[in-house]
Amino acid sequence: MNYHQPYWNPILETLPPEALRQLQLKKFQRIFRWAYTHSKFHRALYRSAGIAPEDIRTPEDIRRVPTVEKAMMRQVQGKDPYPYGDALCVPLDDVTVFRQTSGTTGQPVYQPDTWQDWEWWAECWCYILWSQGYRPSDRVFIPFGYNVFVAFWAGHYAAEKLGCEVVPGGVLDTKARILKIQELRANAMMGTPTYLLGMAETARLKMGIDPSRLGVDKITCAGECGASIPSTKRRLEEAWGAKVYDHAGATEIGAWSYECAAQPGGLHVNEAMFLVEIIDPETGETIEAPGRRGKMVITAFDRQAQPCVRFDSKDVIEWSGEPCPCGRSFRVIRGGVVGRADDITKVKGVLLAPSAIEEVVRGIKGLGDEYEVVVDKTGDAETIRLRVEVLPEAQDQCTFIQSELQDQLRLKTNLRYDLEICGCGTLPRYEVKAKRFKDLRSKKTE
């Protein structure tokens, strides 16, 4: 086998755009018919909108198909066939694995998968890992608590499928995981940016180990958008001495995008497996032009047990107009997932994306990796309190750092912040997804 082949699928990943659009239409027709035929939930939704499989003839017809939101899935679930309800498209006997969403935005959603769906999850991850240079000679350490969350499960199975040697770092604590990487000379890793930064800090400050000398040469991130935020990516790459790649996926969708080894400043959408539409939240129109942000509506073409057809993910993305030097024709979303529609909030009349604050904090030398943002309201006045940690070696530069931080925040977000400088190690640390943004205004209104 030719391990120098740069593409997992040399045909689909380089397909001319017009052929790709035709393939997507046919694949959409197939999954739409599947959902319509096998799921009572989807059939009722489509009938109420007056649309049936034979009505999907052109890409424009796809836009008439009603979107599905997470809240709708929550309503369907908990009923028979228990616990998935009417969106289940296969007999319960054919479900081989259960997962659930993390519940970051509310009550978790259950996700059933057949064995074929699970093969498909791993297949999507194979596109990711192959493009990032994973090959059978790699020993991949996965420091993640294997549980009901999909997280890196599919990454694990995909790495095995590629022929890598996988080391599951399940129940080990952070120190034990670092020692295991050292002992086995693992050279690749997967994790959330938050956890991997914390892991590097533990190695450095608590174990006297320089993580950049452990021999890890590539890291695949997921779960948070950090690895697409330039300052966070830079910190991760410096801390570990490794190339850091982002990918975006979700429990109810699949692993739909990936950063290739060329690191083009964004993520390729796997357009052979998914249809990504960017919708203007104000007008509802589809955005095809590069550089205009909108929310993502996504379809997974080959997922069967609980299909994902025009799912309104609330992720905020924009197309890049630049071709990627890697030669893939799959379009790139610039800067990865830049936020979530329900995370972007208006403060003092200005739209604020938490990722913009992270970009500033992690871009300032002397500040630690952790931060916390609290938006509050006193009378009519809204305030933003930003808590950051100054590293021990930068304590004598506190005034300068504070001034630089305030200037950069104003420049990047057009807002003024009440800054609180904390001692190193005082802010909360997170194992998986971090919760650094707190909006106390809604609690006061309730």
CA-based nearest residue to 267, from 247, 289, 287, 292: 247
Contact (Cβ atoms closer than 8 angstroms) between residue 372 and residue 421: no
Least distance CB 32 / another protein (angstroms): 13
Q: Which is nearer to another protein, 19 or 205 (CB)?
A: 19
Q: Give the C-alpha separation, 239 to 227, whole Å.
A: 13
Q: By C-beta, is 119 or 217 nearer to another protein?
A: 119
In whole angstroms, give the CA distance from residue 424 to residue 419: 15
Q: How far is the CB of 75 from another protein (least distance, A)?
A: 21
**CB-CB contact of 65 with 32 (8 Å):** yes
Residue 37, CA atoms < 13 Å, CB-side half-sphere: 10
Closest contact distance (angstroms) between CB of 317 and another protein is 24
Closest separation in Å from C-beta 338 to another protein: 29
Q: By C-beta, is 232 or 306 nearer to another protein?
A: 306
Of 363, 421, 365, residue with least CA distance to 394: 365
H or E element in which residue 36 lies: helix 17-38
CA geometry: angle 346, 351, 357, nearest 5 deg: 105
Token reading at 78: 């908990």
Quote the least distance from Cβ 322 to another protein, whole Å. 22
Q: If you search the block for the tokens 């997974």, which residue do you land on?
A: 300
| Cβ 56 to another protein shortest distance, Å | 16
Q: Closest CB to another protein among 12 and 267?
A: 12
Least separation in angstroms between residue 116's CB and another protein is: 4
Nearer CB in complex with another protein: 30/204: 30
Q: Name which of 8 and 41 has its Cβ closer to another protein.
A: 8
Residues that bind another protein (CB under 8 A): 2, 9-12, 14-15, 23, 26-27, 30, 34, 81-82, 89-94, 114-116, 118-120, 123, 272-273, 302, 304
Question: Where in 79-187 does DSSP place strands (E)?
Answer: 95-100, 110-114, 139-142, 165-168
**How far is residue 245's CA from residue 265's CA, in Å, rounded to a whole number?**
10
> Hey, what amino acid is at 27?
K
14 or 397: CB nearest another protein: 14
Min CB(271)–another protein separation in Å: 12
Report the C-alpha gap between 59 and 80 in whole angstroms.
Answer: 34
Closest CA to 415 of 351, 340, 334, 337: 351
Nearer to another protein, 302 or 389 (CB): 302
